[in-house]
Structure 1
């Protein structure tokens, strides 16, 4: 499925993904409208469910707030593709079920407003007839993302375990 791209630059930190004044909010539906408000107050209003963020180096740097990937997911972002991620953001995104893909070649050429198709299992992005290979997510990580995050994944595994 083709998804619309929102292109961002390097070093997008968690303080601009979700400004600190919203950290007392726990309902994801209330966090989504404030997504990337630190860069562009109108950003969340332009998102259609299933859109992509494509960014440069070190996406999600800064403080280790789990609220940042929650806000992205609640806003309607399907996945974040970047040249690289801050380690804690990458792990937090997986833990809450937000797909992330390291794909430097695509991040370098992606254009804001263009469309692309993402195959997380294969680690590929297809855009304009070109296929870009990134780092595929291991099967267990894919299962966590598919379950909606680490907590639903663990609950499902516990429920399926023999008594």
Structure 2
């Protein structure tokens, strides 16, 4: 499974309240998505496009356990999330929603706007703009099956024969 898109690059400690601000929790995901990342990148939600790739440094997704943060990213068109390290519950929420969450501890040299490609089965991130390559974690086959099905709920339906 490969993904290619524009890189959106963020630093350390991008928490769930930054990704999906809690003051908009009562709105639908579609409405709340307009405020995603506003605290650190005012125009992110307006500029992010279908297939873009979200890249962050350490401790991505710390904070609350609610699924709204990865769901917001998915709604905005993010197809894969890459980080040097993840908060475990955010990582699992991404997987449960069908978003590959890839650990890539040494992606330095990727800038916002670079065109990148990631092969989640090989565990390889390519910066197509700068012609550089980075080794990343590989997702196990059972997780890949879940992602291919569109997330945990859809995966469970397929194995139950629904």
- TM-score (ref. length: structure 1): 0.90
Cα distance, 1:150 vs structure 2: 0.2
Aligned to 1:143: 145
Paired residues of 1:32 and 1:73 also in contact (CA < 8 A): no
Query: How many pairs does the alignment contain?
Result: 158
Change in CA separation of 1:31 and 1:152 when aligned onto 2, cut-off 3 Å: farther
Find runs of 4+ consecutive structure 1 residues off by over 6 angstroms. none
13-22 vs 27-36, which moves further: 27-36
Cα distance in 2 between the residues matched to 1:40 and 1:105 = 23
- TM-score (ref. length: structure 2): 0.91
Paired residues of 2:6 and 2:53 also in contact (CA < 8 A): yes
SS at match of 2:161: helix
Aligned to 1:125: 125
Aligned to 1:3: 5
Aligned to 2:157: 155
Deviations along 1:45-74, whole A, 9 cap, x unmatched? Answer: 101100011110000011111100000110
126-135 vs 87-96, which moves further: 126-135
Deviations along 1:26-63, whole A, 9 cap, x unmatched? Answer: x4433432322332342111011000111100000111
Aligned pair 1:115/2:124, yes or no? Answer: no
SS at match of 1:84: coil
Paired residues of 1:18 and 1:38 also in contact (CA < 8 A): no
Cα distance, 1:115 vs structure 2: 0.9
Gaps of 5+ in 2: none
Deviations along 1:78-128, whole A, 9 cap, x unmatched? Answer: 11111000001000110011111100111x221111111110111111113
Output aligned runs, 1:51-130, within 5 Å.
51-106=52-107, 108-127=108-127, 128-130=130-132
Cα distance, 1:144 vs structure 2: 0.8
Paired residues of 2:4 and 2:51 also in contact (CA < 8 A): no
Larger helix percent: 1
39-48 vs 147-156, which moves further: 39-48
Paired residues of 1:31 and 1:74 also in contact (CA < 8 A): no
Cα distance in 2 between the residues matched to 1:154 and 1:32 = 27
